Structures are given as structure tokens and as C-alpha cells.
Structure 1
Amino acid sequence: MSIIDTLLTSTHPATDNQWVLASNNKGKLAEFKRIFAEANLDVTIVPQGQLNIEDAIENGLSFVENAIIKARHASRISGLPAIADDSGLCVPALGNAPGIYSARYAGEHGNDSKNNAKLITDLQPIRAAKPDAPVKGMFVCVLAMVCHADDPLPIIAQGLWHGEILDAPHGAGGFGYDPLFWLPDLQASAASLSAADKNSISHRGQAIQQLLAQLPL
């Protein structure tokens, strides 16, 4: 039996061909919806919020660990195959912070403006020491997919999106740290890209394509 057959036949009889997306982040959900629609999967991707599944406790020490934790959590409660995303921004000059704590970097989960402000503040000494050097950064996305809650062989996919960190927001789109993430080759921030352009090159877009490539569709 192929991986895709296993995933489909492991679903609950009343909800055939449904996979749970273990996220309640509206920005992530919108990106997943667009990308999965383009893949023409014979599956319905259901956000965990629609099944009244609360966020898992993310107590892992890496993106991979947290993605697996979230996927198992959603699968255990729903009885369905589950896909989970754990992603964030890593800045080598800050020891790869904010990293897995990106969404709560300033202490309040999901407050993009406060998280961006803290990142700008934390980078000020580094910019002062090397005023002419760009601050490098990368967005990281790890996806984990499980057929069932105790699946011993999760499918793992990872995407990395390299860029530079601005000292002030630029662009009105996107979410999270997108306004501070500068793409030198495009002379644009992630927040100024269209959804289609962002999905084609982003860390999440890369990870989803890697995940799909591992499914014999």
C-alpha cells in the first residue's frame, strides 16, 4: 500500500479524505489553502479550529520536534491524518533567535508589532558595531505529517528562505516578520510580495512542495 493510500484509508469513516492542518494561525492557513489548492489533492484539508482542537503545548527544542508534537496532537484528537507546521525566523547574529519562539518573542503570542519591535531593538547593538554590514536572516519552515497519532515514521519536509533583516518595517502585506525580511535580489520585502509570488519562493512554499514530492500522488 502506498503512503497516499495509507493516509486516505486511515481516515475516520465519516470524514473520508480529510486531513487535519494543525494550526489556527490565519496567515498560515491562508497560505496552505492556496498552495494545496494548486496541488489538486483529492483531499480536504481541515483546519484544526474547525474541529475544536486547541493548540498543542509546544515544548520541543527544535522546529522538527514541535512540528511532530503538533501533528500527533491534532491526529490523536481528530482520529485523522494530520499535517503540522512549525516555522519562524532565525538570525545568526542573535544565536538564531527568535527561532522556535518567533511567535512569542516579545512575550505575547502572535503580537506581530511587538515581536518586530523587539527584533529591531535587539539588533541595534549589532548594527552599531558593524553599521555597513547587512544583518542576515532566514525563515525556516518544518512540516510534519502523520498517518495517525502514533505513526513511527512521520513525513518531514523543510524549507529555508534566506534574506536580510531591515531596521524598519517595509510593505503592508504578509504577517509575522514579513515587513522586516528583505530580499536583495528582488529589492522587496516579504510583506510587499503578492501572495502568489511569496508562495513560489517562501520557506513554507518550499516545505509544502517537498512534502508533496514525498507523496506518490
Structure 2
Amino acid sequence: MRVVLATHNPHKVAEFQQIVAMTRPDLEVVGYDGPEPVEDGVTFAENALIKARAAAAHTGLAAFADDSGICVDVLGGSPGIFSAYWAGQKKDATANLELLLDQLADIADPHRAAQFVSTIALVTPDGTEQTVAGVWPGRVALSPAGANGFGYDPIFIPDGQPDGAERTSAELSNDEKQSQSHRARAFEAFVPLLKTL
């Protein structure tokens, strides 16, 4: 079965292909090459649906889209849906990360709680729409560490690591990350929806 992932982000495509291979090897995820819609929703779910609707309409296939970001408690849940644009409209991951660290510079380690959130929307050609969400709790590190991953991975320390480890998401192996990340958690809830296709 083929479904289209509504993103132009090759990192997300690769990440979802790895997650799908672990859970639904019969499912072929294809990239989306159509026009990018304006994401003007005010929640992760609204933006995921906007993207999935556009991809389903453009390709005629069932489409799913992820909208995700980091939500920092002390910042009232920001950057949230603005995670990709936190430092401006250029989607500069390094600038986003540096700005967030600068904003938290005076916040002590115990008060840097954060969550990665992922919402996945599924839209079928007949107009059926469904969403699921996954949350990966943790905190923002004092400085970046690790080279595996993208975006805010180098400054996100997930909760519940074995032996009390303090590794960032960017220091985890691909298998470790794909088994526990916010996208993996959202996809676990998403698998039953795929069975309805």
C-alpha cells in the first residue's frame, strides 16, 4: 500500500520511513512533491490537517502529515507550533536552537521542563480525516550535545533514560530514538488508523 507523507523535509521522510519499516513493513511511504500549503492553524492538529489535505488533493492518495515541535513549560508552551520559525521565517535550525538556549540562559536546570509533541493527521481521498498525538517529555539541556538528529535534538534530554543517563536526543542511536520519540509515540497511535485504509 502506498501513502504520501505531506512534507518537503527530507529528515522527516527518512525518520518516518524508519519508523514505518519497524511497524508496518508492507507500507510504502512516498514523498510529497506538490505545492506547500500555508500552515495558518493555531494547533499542531490544525497544521497537520492542512498539510495532509493538500497532499491528498494533489496526489489522489491517502496522505498523512506530521506537525511537531518543542514546547517549553517556562515559556508557556512556546515555541510550540512556531518551532521551525522561532528565529525568523528562514527555518534556520541552528538559529532556532541558539535563540531558545539564549531565552533560557537564566533558567536553572530543574525548571527547564519541555516536551516534544507530534500530531499526525490522516486524510483519505474520500475526505475522511483523523488525528493522533504523541508526547515525549524531557527538558532543555544547558548546551548542545550530539550529532545524530536535527532541529532541537541536540538540546532535548528525554526523561526515563536507562541508568539515569542524561543524553540528548541527538546522542541517542537511530534505533533508540525511533523507538521512543514523539513521532514514534504518535505513529504507534496512528497504526490502527492505517488499518482502516
Do both share a fold (TM > 0.5)? yes
- Bigger Rg, which one: 1
Aligned pairs, number: 192
Superposition deviation, residue 30 in structure 1: 1.0
Correspondence for 1:96 = 77
Deviates more, 1:132-141 or 1:81-90: 132-141
Give the letter aligned to residue 102 of structure 2: T
Structure 2 CA distance, aligned partners of 1:27 and 1:97? 22
Correspondence for 1:146 = 123
Structure 2 CA distance, aligned partners of 1:203 and 1:194? 15
Structure 2 CA distance, aligned partners of 1:27 and 1:68? 20
Structure 2 CA distance, aligned partners of 1:115 and 1:66? 20
Correspondence for 1:112 = 93
Structure 2 CA distance, aligned partners of 1:159 and 1:173? 21
Correspondence for 2:113 = 136
Superposition deviation, residue 108 in structure 1: 3.5
Aligned to 2:104, what secondary structure does the other structure show? helix
**Residue correspondence of structure 1 range 20-169 to structure 2 within 5 A:** 20-49=4-33, 53-125=34-106, 127=107, 131=108, 133-148=110-125, 151=127, 153-169=128-144
Correspondence for 2:192 = 213
Gapped runs of 5+ residues in structure 2?
none
Aligned to 1:124, what secondary structure does the other structure show? coil
Structure 1 CA distance, aligned partners of 2:20 and 2:109? 41
Give the letter aligned to residue 86 of structure 1: D
User: Cα distance 1:188–1:61, how it changes in 2: closer, same or farther (>3 A)?
Assistant: same
Contact between 1:155 and 1:211, CA under 8 Å: does it hold in 2? Answer: no
- The Cα RMSD (Å) is 1.6
Superposition deviation, residue 132 in structure 1: 5.6
User: Cα distance 1:71–1:101, how it changes in 2: closer, same or farther (>3 A)?
Assistant: same
Aligned to 2:111, what secondary structure does the other structure show? coil
Superposition deviation, residue 48 in structure 1: 0.1
Superposition deviation, residue 206 in structure 1: 0.6
**Residue correspondence of structure 1 range 168-207 to structure 2 within 5 A:** 168-186=143-161, 187-207=166-186
Structure 2 CA distance, aligned partners of 1:119 and 1:132? 14
Structure 1 CA distance, aligned partners of 2:30 and 2:109? 47
Give the letter aligned to residue 167 of structure 2: A
- State the TM-score, normalized to the length of structure 1: 0.83
Contact between 1:134 and 1:165, CA under 8 Å: does it hold in 2? Answer: no
Give the letter aligned to residue 75 of structure 1: A
Give the letter aligned to residue 59 of structure 2: S
Superposition deviation, residue 41 in structure 1: 4.6
1:87-133 CA-to-partner distances (Å, cap 9, x unmatched) read: 000012111110001011100433111000000111124x1xxx363
Structure 2 CA distance, aligned partners of 1:62 and 1:132? 28
